[in-house]
Every structure is written in C-alpha cells, then in structure tokens.
C-alpha cells in the first residue's frame, strides 16, 4: 500500500496501519531501553501475544 497526504487519513486501512505502528512503537519504547535487531522477532511476538489477548477478556 502506498499513499500519503491528507486523503490517506480518510482510508480505513491507513488508519489501522498507523494505529498499529504507533502502538508497536510505544510498547517497544516503553518496555525496552535498547532494541537489538537480533531479538526483534521476539519483541514482535510478545506484542502480538499481548494484542491478541486484549480481545479475549473474560469477566
């Protein structure tokens, strides 16, 4: 997907892509002081696990 400018924020796909990228950045910066490219798949797996479980909240 490519695009930019003011029109791109009107597309729902771009909204969710930007939301997910922002969430990933905040989670990584808030959890780890340094990021090692060697361990990046592990960081992403942890984020994916937490994200997937956030929709399975049981009361």
* Closest to 23 measured CA to CA, from 1, 2, 52: 52
pLDDT at 21 over 70: yes
Whole-number average pLDDT of the chain: 80
Mean pLDDT of 29-36: 83
- Provide the number of structural domains found in the chain: 1
11 located within any domain: yes
pLDDT class for 4, splitting at 50, 70, 90? low
The count of residues in the chain is 59
pLDDT class for 7, splitting at 50, 70, 90? low
59 located within any domain: no
pLDDT at 1 over 60: no
Q: Which long-range contacts (CB under 8 A, 24 or more apart) does 19-24 make?
A: 23/47, 23/51
| Residue 42, burial from CB neighbour count under 10 angstroms (0-12, 13-18, 19+) | exposed
Q: Which domain holds residue 28?
A: 6-54
Predicted TM-score of the model (pTM): 0.56
């Amino acid at each position: 997907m490519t695009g930019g400018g003011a029109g791109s924020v009107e597309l729902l796909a771009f909204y969710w892509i930007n939301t997910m990228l922002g969430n990933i950045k905040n989670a990584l910066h808030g959890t780890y002081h340094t990021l090692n490219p060697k361990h990046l798949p592990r960081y992403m797996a942890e984020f994916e696990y937490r994200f997937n479980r956030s929709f399975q909240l049981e009361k």
